[in-house]
Amino acid sequence: MRYFVTLSYDGTGYHGWQIQPNGVSVQETLQQALSTLLRVPTEVVGAGRTDAGVHASMMVAHFDWEGDETLDGAQLVYKLNKLLPHDIAVQKVERVADDMHARFSARARTYHYYICQHKNPFRRAYSWYVYGSLDFSRMNEAAATLKEYSDFTSFSKLSTDVKTNLCTVTEAYWEEIAPGEWRFTVTANRFLRNMVRAIVGTLMEVGRGRMSVEGFRRVIEQQNRCSAGESVPGNALFLVDIQY
């Protein structure tokens, strides 16, 4: 029997979602908690791989249960939340069809990236403080061009094990959510390693007047990571939605 786990986490203290040989990961922490409660080694598979320090207000993972009785999802949520550390919370455990897959069955994922244009000690953990003016109108013009392309090699981390760098971006835009506080929303069927942070870093070049919208297009078309801007800090990035 296959179950989906919907959870959220503050990624500050973790080396990303995926199990790492040299640091604590969210996947490892959830697996240990599930294995303890179910009294059998239990592997979980996530919908994606958030990088070190990146957060998720919604992550989905699945695990398989070989027991004879159907698990009580509500009870498992309660017990998991008692066992898990304060920075990981489970919202739902539900049985799904055996062929459902947390990663491969997902049709779209949405990320948010937050920046703050004034120094704020209460935003520093979850947004990136950016000094100076930015042309968000021009940044939105550049962001809209992402929907016209499919190969995002220029925004991918080098030397990854993925077979293709093709993605379909369906929305990408900046909006001001409070005075001096902006949020970037991007939705795609899949994302490459470091893709959102590299896109935001390149859009910053547009916003500062160092790159034109046509220059942003050329970065995409060159399919070369060295052409794009620097990756922005991970602490301001959130995985916020997964659609199946």
Going by pLDDT thresholds of 50, 70 and 90, the confidence category of residue 43 is very high
Give the pTM.
0.94
Distance CA 153, CA 228 (A): 10
> Catalytic site residue 51?
yes
Q: Which residues contact 237 (CB under 8 A, 6 or more apart)?
A: 50, 51, 54, 55, 111, 112, 113, 196, 197
Going by pLDDT thresholds of 50, 70 and 90, the confidence category of residue 154 is very high
pLDDT at residue 92 tops 80: yes
So what's the pLDDT on residue 162? 76
- Average model confidence (pLDDT) across the chain: 96
Q: Given 51, 68, 72, 241, which residue is catalytic?
A: 51
pLDDT, mean of residues 155-167: 83
187-240 per-position pLDDT tens digit? 999 999 999 999 999 999 999 999 999 999 999 999 999 999 999 999 999 999
Q: Which residues contact 148 (CB under 8 A, 6 or more apart)?
A: none
Going by pLDDT thresholds of 50, 70 and 90, the confidence category of residue 160 is low
Residue 194 CB: number of other CB atoms within 10 A? 18
Tokens of 194: 């470091």
